[in-house]
């Protein structure tokens, strides 16, 4: 296949260029169909996420040539083939989604005082209740026993406290921020976003900070709360500084350790402190280039799958997807699930072991693999093959369209928590489908008390209710006039 050598040595295939153009067409289809409110559609967010990892990421790998640790592991001629394949999948998803999602949704009302679903969500996700629920998860995380600690999906067993934090920490914190903004007004968005981002930064992961912020903005947009330009600029500065600080800390100290040695909150705070002290250090500049050169690479894994298939391997089938479902079962229903070897339990590891992709194997005793981004569309190549991936893209486009049409039915608590769970999964596009099963398990658990409380509250709601706190979010209150 023809390759064009760039001046700095990186080979860009014609297929990659064509693939990027196809992705641009997919984005055009989405934006033309949905307009300025595209960000209120979970399916549109999925398309944007896919383009970031398979399109923007490829551009960054090209610009920061030589920084990607995955590209030397395989024949790079398969990159262009995969980029072209995933680009067609993204376009198929976008076309099917736009055909099925229906007409544009009406803009969210600027005043939600007359919307009974919005009023119910406002009462249900009251900031005081959300704070009570979230504070224990914050302390568990800061102490090293919660979100981001060892024993997650890739680990060897998840205790009760860790399991709760992994599933509810980010969502609980976002709902707390939402409740605070509803109560104290849109003028506090930046303050609340800053506080939320600082708490999430203690995890030591840049993606978590960004995902939390985007989840909050999505939730606010569903309720008609828009950011002005000043808030957008300040919010962007906050996110850049925090992700820059985490990158700087990693350059100075290495990746944040989540073992028993890092259970004290002082270590997490000192980690960030050292990061901000070294923002302009030479090591930070090198780490930024390294990060930009590989962090969004969503194509190497798929290219390695194509190389394995081209070498005579057959797709592994739906067994890893089947395992994702059983992985999400509570331990009391499947006590032996944590004893199954990781390569037979975790979706990505299963494909790497059974396709196989030997280039990613680091050690054979015990079997460990190099960490790499499979992406949600990319992981399907090794499971159901190239044609199966394209068919799955069409089915996913239809399912996302049906879900977004259902979300138009109201702004009640159940739709709110489900939409937030879906957005969380989509924003974790770099992972595989086990994110969906474990996250939706937590959402289903939440829906049970939500349904019970809604049934109880419906019998106690007054016939008429004073104006909602939403009333001052989009339209500022008039200034007080001193009495004469």
For the stretch 131-164, pLDDT in tens is 998 888 888 777 766 565 444 444 444 444 555 6
Assess whether pLDDT exceeds 90 at residue 118: no
13 with 2: CB under 8 angstroms?
A: yes
Q: How many CB atoms lie within 10 A of CB 254?
A: 9
**What pLDDT shows up at residue 149?**
46
- Neighbour tally for 324: CB within 10 Å: 22
12 membership: H or E segment, kind and range: strand 11-13
Give yes or no for residue 233 having a pLDDT over 50.
yes
Task: Return the DSSP state at 56.
Answer: I
Residues in contact with 306: Cβ distance below 8 Å, sequence separation at least 6, in sequence order = 78, 81, 82, 85, 381, 386
**CB within 8 Å of 242: residues ≥ 6 apart:** 197, 198, 201, 206, 209
Residues in the chain: 484
Which of helix, strand or coil describes residue 341?
coil
pLDDT tens per residue across span 184-198: 888 889 999 999 998
Give the whole-angstrom CA distance, residue 126 versus residue 340: 41
The pLDDT mean for the chain works out to 82
> How would you class 470 by CB atoms within 10 Å of its CB: exposed for 0-12, middle for 13-18, buried for 19 or more?
buried
pLDDT (tens digit, 9 = 90+) per residue, 439-454?
Answer: 888 888 888 877 777 7
Lowest mean pLDDT among 72-76, 136-140, 330-334, 354-358: 330-334
For residue 30, pLDDT beyond 90: yes
Poorest-pLDDT segment among 8-17, 48-57, 317-326, 371-380? 8-17
pLDDT in tens, 276-291: 888 888 888 899 999 9
Question: What's the predicted TM-score (pTM) here?
Answer: 0.87
By CB atoms closer than 10 A (0-12, 13-18, 19+), residue 423 is: buried
């Amino acid at each position: 296949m023809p390759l064009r050598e760039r001046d700095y040595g990186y080979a860009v295939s014609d297929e990659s260029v064509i693939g990027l153009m196809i992705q641009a067409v997919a984005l055009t289809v989405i934006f033309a169909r949905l307009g300025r409110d595209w960000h209120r559609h979970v399916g549109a967010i999925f398309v944007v996420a896919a383009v970031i990892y398979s399109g923007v990421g490829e551009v960054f790998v090209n610009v920061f040539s030589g920084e990607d640790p995955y590209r030397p592991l395989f024949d790079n001629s398969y990159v262009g083939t995969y980029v072209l394949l995933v680009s067609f999948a993204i376009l198929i998803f976008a076309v099917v989604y736009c055909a099925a999602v229906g007409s544009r949704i009406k803009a969210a009302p600027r005043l939600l005082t007359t919307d009974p679903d919005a009023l119910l969500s406002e009462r249900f996700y009251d900031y005081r209740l959300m704070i009570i629920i979230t504070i224990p998860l914050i302390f568990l995380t800061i102490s090293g026993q919660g979100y981001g600690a060892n024993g997650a999906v890739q680990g060897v067993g998840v205790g009760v406290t860790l399991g709760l934090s992994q599933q509810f920490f980010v969502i609980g914190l976002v709902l707390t921020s939402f409740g605070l903004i509803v109560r104290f007004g849109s003028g506090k968005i930046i303050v609340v976003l800053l506080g939320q981002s600082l708490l999430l930064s203690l995890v030591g992961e840049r993606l978590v900070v960004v995902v939390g912020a985007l989840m909050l903005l999505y939730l606010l947009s569903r309720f008609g709360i828009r950011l002005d330009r000043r808030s957008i600029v300040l919010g962007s500065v906050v996110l850049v500084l925090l992700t820059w600080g985490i990158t700087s800390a990693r350059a100075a100290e290495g990746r944040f350790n989540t073992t028993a040695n890092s259970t004290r909150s002082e270590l997490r705070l000192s980690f960030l402190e050292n990061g901000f002290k070294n923002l302009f250090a030479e090591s930070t500049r090198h780490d930024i280039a390294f990060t930009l050169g590989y962090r969004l690479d969503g194509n190497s894994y798929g290219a390695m799958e194509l190389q394995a298939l081209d070498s005579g391997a057959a797709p592994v089938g739906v067994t890893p997807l089947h395992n994702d479902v059983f992985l999400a079962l509570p331990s009391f229903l499947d006590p032996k699930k944590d004893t199954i070897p990781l390569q037979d339990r975790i979706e990505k590891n299963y494909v790497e072991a059974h396709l196989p992709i030997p280039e990613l194997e680091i050690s054979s005793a015990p079997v460990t693999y190099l960490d790499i981004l499979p992406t949600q569309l990319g992981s399907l190549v090794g499971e159901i093959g190239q044609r199966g991936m394209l068919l799955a893209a069409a089915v996913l486009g239809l399912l996302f369209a049906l879900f977004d049409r259902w979300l138009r039915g109201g702004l009640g608590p159940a739709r709110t928590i489900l939409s937030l769970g879906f957005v969380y999964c989509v924003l974790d596009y770099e992972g595989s489908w086990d994110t969906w099963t474990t996250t939706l398990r937590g959402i289903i658990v939440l829906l049970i008390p939500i349904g019970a409380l809604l049934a109880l509250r419906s019998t106690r709601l007054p016939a008429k209710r004073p104006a909602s706190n939403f009333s001052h979010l989009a339209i500022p209150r008039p200034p007080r006039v001193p009495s004469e």
